[in-house]
Amino acid sequence: MPDSGAPLSVTPSGVTSAPFVEFAGVAVTYGAGTPQAVAALSPTDLAFGRGEFICIVGPSGCGKTTLMQTLAGFLPPTTGMVSVGGQAVRGPGPERGVVFQQAALFPWKTVAANAGFGPAMRGLPRAVQRERVEYWLHSVGLWEFRDRYPYELSGGMQQRLAIARALANEPEILLMDEPFGALDALTREKMQEALHEVWRSRGMTVLFITHSVDEAVYLGTEIVVMSQRPGRILARIPAPFARQSADSEIRHVKASADFVALREQVLGLIWGENAV
């Protein structure tokens, strides 16, 4: 059984003690030093603790993805520094799993080989590789498809496979860039529930980018609202539902007065900014 990580230290505000992930003055300018330079991200400070589920919302092109890519190690910040557990991020690494909006699977490999890609590349013992593939394919309901190829799966199943692939590597941090953006509403809600389950049981740290305020309020322990380009952080709002809704139905949570009120508050921030 994969190791379940440190227990969550929950506080009423949803903020844990020591910062685990830290963006310190991180700014990104594309084409810096050229006449075509575009500022994508204003200098940004953001820190959060282990086990948090941080949801970033904001208008299109606001630098959400740019921010995430600096943590993933795909994009060096123009200024500032990103660190995880006190260590500066210098490139991609297996302790930071990534799930993209497009599943980005390997269609030349079977479903099982996709799920086990990380453990196989890292040379973990065969038995461990098999165990993880089995565990995570069961968790996302794809075990019976293990010998198929990704192109034989539906869009929702492909995205579940991408999540299983990231989780089978047991990253400390999971970075998700609009992972459910391409899915239909029903599949999307099921995926939200499934992800919520996994996060609750595993206690990993998640940085989750979404266009959907509804999704952010349901999943996040904290919602980070960003402004239009060049992006900066407008507000950080703790959200209680991720930790409350142990056995509640997703529909019930989303219909509750508290949920609607918080969703409206976040929407107001986004709209208010855009009206200016």
Residues lying near another protein in the complex (CB under 8 A):
72-74, 91-94, 96-98, 100, 102, 104, 106-109, 117-118, 121-122, 149, 151, 162, 165-166, 169, 175
- Nearer Cβ to another protein (63/171): 171
Residue 105 Cβ vs another protein, minimum distance, rounded to whole Å: 8
Residue 149 Cβ vs another protein, minimum distance, rounded to whole Å: 7
The helix/strand/coil state of 15 is: coil
- Nearer Cβ to another protein (69/139): 69
Between β-strands 38-49 and 87-88, what pairing exists: parallel, antiparallel or unpaired?
unpaired
- Nearer Cβ to another protein (26/72): 72
Contact partners, residue 81, CB within 8 Å, separation at least 6: 24, 25, 26, 88, 89
Residue 228 Cβ vs another protein, minimum distance, rounded to whole Å: 25
CB neighbour burial string for 157-187, b if at least 16 within 10 angstroms, e if fewer: bbbbbbbbbbbbbbbbbbbbbbbbbebeeeb
- Nearer Cβ to another protein (14/118): 118
Helices (H) and strands (E) in the chain, counts: 10, 10
Residue 99 Cβ vs another protein, minimum distance, rounded to whole Å: 9
- 8-state DSSP, 36: T
Residue 42 Cβ vs another protein, minimum distance, rounded to whole Å: 24
Strand order in the sheet with 222-226: 96-99, 173-177, 205-209, 53-57, 222-226, 233-238
Residue 44 Cβ vs another protein, minimum distance, rounded to whole Å: 21
- Nearer Cβ to another protein (143/149): 149
- 8-state DSSP, 145: G
Do 205 and 172 contact (CB within 8 A), yes or no? yes
- Nearer Cβ to another protein (122/236): 122
